[in-house]
Chains A and B, each alone.
Chain A
Amino acid sequence: MVRTTVVIVGAGHSGLAMSRRLTERSIDHVVLERGEVANSWRRDRWDSLRLLTPNWQSGLPGFDYAGADPDGFMTSPEVADHLGAYARAIDAPVRSGVTVTSVAPAEASAGYRVVTDDGAYDADAVVLANGGSGIANLPPVADGVPSGILSLTAKTYRSPESLADGGVLVVGASASGAQLADEIARAGRDVTLAAGEHVRMPRTYRGRDIFWWMDAVGVLDERFDEIDDIIRARHVPSPQLVGSDDRRTVDIASLRANGVRVVGRVGRIHDGVAQFSGGLANTVRLADLKLDRLLDRFDAWAETGVDGLTEPVRAEPTVVDDAPLLELDLAREKVGTIVWATGYKPDYSWLDVPVLDYKGRLSHEGGVIPKSPGLYVMGTSLLRRRRSTYIGGAAQDSEELAEHLAGYLAGRTAPSAAAIL
C-alpha cells in the first residue's frame, strides 16, 4: 500500500494539467494510467481523426502550441505526441500500465482507497480524469441489429477498409457521425445517415474559424451554472465539424451533395428493418434556427469593431427529401455495416463511491463532487464551461479545481462548489 496525497486517474490532457497544478503547489500525487500517456488517442480513434479545435486552442497549462501551424488541426498521433511531450516537460509522476479497479472511501480516514492491478494507494483526494469518452453509448435500438451485420462504434471504426461489404448505415449526426458518413461516402460506399438532433456549424464564418468566433465572443466561456438546463446541454451532440487542411464544412447539405442519403433518427430495428423518424424536417429546421442565432450573436459582437472580417454569408437552409425514407430493409438494401456514432459516456464501473445518479451520471458541480468531499472530476463535456469539452479547457479547469482541492486539503474550503462559483 502506497500513501500519497492525491491520486489522479488517467494521464490524458486533464490528468496531466492537474498534475502540473499540484506540482506547482507542492502537493504530492501520482497519475495512474492504464496504458500509456494519451492512451485513448493512441488506441481508440479512427485513422483520419483530427481535433475539432485549431492548434492554437489546444495548448496546456504552461505549454502553448509552438508548432508551425497554429490554425491547423492535430491528428490523433500528434495529440499523443503533444501530450507525451507535455508529460515529460512537467515531469508528471505517471505510473503507466496501472489499471484502477476500485476507488472507494477509506475505512479509517476521510480519504480514499484506490485499488489497482499493481497495488493499492491511500489518498486524501482523488481526481477522476479518465476521460469523457470511455464507453461508446449504444441506444437500446442497437439490440435489434440482425446477425450478419457488422456493428461498429466511433471507437472501433478505423477506416472504410474496416467495413463489411455492402452499404453502410451511420447512426448519429454529431461531429463523429458526420465525419464518418463523409469519409465512407467518399470511399465510394452507399451511405445512409440517420440524423437525430444535431448541431450545424460552418468551419469558417466571415473568414475566421468557427472556434475563433466562439472563443472571441465568449461562447466557450459560458459557465455550467449560467446555462439553462446543464444536464441537457451536456448531452447535446458535438457540432458537425471536421478539422481539415481545406477547412471544409461538413453538414447535412454537404453530405447529401456527396451522395449520402439522410433519414430521420432510428426509431427501431426489427425483423431486419430499420425504421426512421418522420420528424427529420423539424430536426434540420431546429439546427438551422440554432445556427442562425449563433451567427446573429457573432455579427452583433462584430459590430463593436473587428478588423479584417469578410461580409456575412449564411448557408442556405438545409434541404432534405420531401418524404425521407422511413424504413430500410437492411438485407434487401445490402447493408453490411452499421456504425453507431451515438455518443460516449465516461466509464465509472470501478467507482465504488455513491455519487452516480439513476442514469449512471456523476453528480458534480463544475468538477467538485459535493457528496464526496475530496473527489473531483475533469475532462468531461461542459464540466465547468463550454471550453471544458476541448483540450484547451483543461488549463482553466485544472487551475480552479486545484485551488479548490488545495483548500480542501488545508481545511480551508467547505466541500461544496460555492467556494469556486
Chain B
Amino acid sequence: MSTTATADNGVNTEALLGARDALREAPEAAQFTWKATSEWIRGTHSRQTIEHFTGLGAGQKHVKAFVLEGDHPEVFASEDNAPTPVETVLAALAGCLTAGVAAVAQNRGIQLKSVKATVEGDHDILGILGGDPEVRNGFNDIRVNFEIDADGSKEDIAALVAQSQKRSAVFDALTNPTNVTVSVS
C-alpha cells in the first residue's frame, strides 16, 4: 500500500478513531436517532426538512435546517418539481460511499484528487403501479461506478471502495432488511 504522510482529504480521522474508542467505553452515547420531517405541498410534491437529531446522549442540531424536496417526473404525469424519492435514495448511497472513500483514504494516507460516482437503480414500476403482483416495489438492482484519481495503486483504490461499502450505513440499509414502523398520530 502506498502511503503519503501528508495526505489531506479534509477528513479528521483522528477524531473519528478517538470517538470509536471513547464510544466503546460509553456505548449508550453511540445511540443516535436521525430525523427528517416532511410536509405535503401539492400533488406528488413534498418538502422534507432535516435539522435535529439525537446522539452522544443529547439533542443535536445541524448548523442550519436543510431542505430537500420530492416529486415525480412528467412521464408520471407529475410536475417534476424535485427529484423522485428513489433518486434521492441513490444520491444518499453515493454520498455515503463517497464519504467512506474519503475517510478510509485519509486513514490510509492516500491523497485523493477526484472521486466521481455514478449510481443507477433498476426499477420495474409495474410493482408500484400494482400492475404485477410478482414485481416488487423497490429496486431490482443498484449499480455504483466510481472513477477515482488518487495517489495510490489500482489495488489501493479497489480496497478503498471495498472498505467504504463495508462501513457504509446506506449500503447496509439498502442491502439488508430493516424493520419499518409507520404510525398515524
Contact = CB atoms under 8 A, between A and B. Distances in A.
Interface stretch (B53-61, B64-72, B78-86, B161-169): B161-169
B131 interface: no
Interface in A325-345: none
Contacts of B172: 279
Nearest to A229: B20
Nearest to A267: B176
Contacts of A270: 177
A371 interface: no
Interface in B132-159: 141, 155, 158-159
Contacts of B35: none
A275 interface: yes
B174 interface: yes
Interface of A: 197, 229, 231, 264-265, 267-268, 270, 275, 277-279, 282, 285-286, 289, 292-293, 323, 357-358
B24 A231 contact: yes
Nearest to B165: A282
Contact of A285 (B20, B27, B162, B176): B162
Contact of A264 (B24, B158, B166, B175): B175
Contacts of B155: 289, 292
A289 B158 contact: yes
Contacts of B165: 279, 282
25 contacts: A229-B20, A265-B176, A267-B175, A267-B177, A268-B176, A268-B177, A275-B176, A275-B177, A277-B175, A278-B174, A278-B176, A279-B165, A279-B172, A279-B175, A279-B176, A282-B162, A282-B166, A285-B158, A286-B162, A286-B163, A289-B155, A293-B1, A323-B141, A357-B24, A358-B27
Given A289-B158, A289-B159, A358-B27, A278 B175 contact: yes
A286 B177 contact: no
A282 B171 CA distance: 11
Nearest to A279: B175
Interface string B1-37: 1000000000000000000100010010000000000
Contacts of B175: 264, 267, 277-279
A264 B158 CA distance: 20
A344 to B, nearest CB: 21
A293 B172 CA distance: 25
Given A278-B175, A279-B176, 18 more contacts: A197-B166, A229-B20, A231-B24, A267-B176, A268-B177, A275-B176, A277-B176, A279-B165, A279-B171, A279-B175, A282-B165, A282-B171, A285-B158, A286-B162, A286-B166, A289-B158, A289-B159, A358-B27
Contacts of A277: 175-176
Nearest to A268: B177
Nearest to A287: B162
For the complex of A and B, list the 4 residue pairs with the smallest distance between their C-beta atoms, beginning with the closest: A278-B175, A267-B176, A279-B175, A268-B177
Most chain B CB atoms below 10 A, which of A229, A268, A278: A278
A357 B26 CA distance: 10
Contacts of A285: 158, 162
A289 B163 CA distance: 10
Contacts of A275: 176-177
Contacts of B166: 197, 282, 286
Most chain A CB atoms below 10 A, which of B1, B162, B163: B162
A282 B176 CA distance: 14
A213 to B, nearest CB: 20
B168 to A, nearest CB: 9
B159 to A, nearest CB: 5
A323 B175 CA distance: 12
Contacts of A267: 175-177
B157 to A, nearest CB: 11
Nearest to A269: B177
Nearest to A270: B177
A229 B24 CA distance: 12
A340 B24 CA distance: 27
Contact of B162 (A229, A265, A289): A289
Contacts of A282: 162, 165-166, 171
A96 to B, nearest CB: 39
A149 B172 CA distance: 28
B127 to A, nearest CB: 15
A4 to B, nearest CB: 35
Nearest to B1: A293
Most chain B CB atoms below 10 A, which of A229, A231, A282, A358: A282
A293 B174 CA distance: 29
Nearest to B158: A289
A360 to B, nearest CB: 12
A150 B11 CA distance: 48
Nearest to A322: B141
Most chain A CB atoms below 10 A, which of B20, B155, B171, B176: B176
Contacts of B24: 231, 357
A38 B48 CA distance: 62
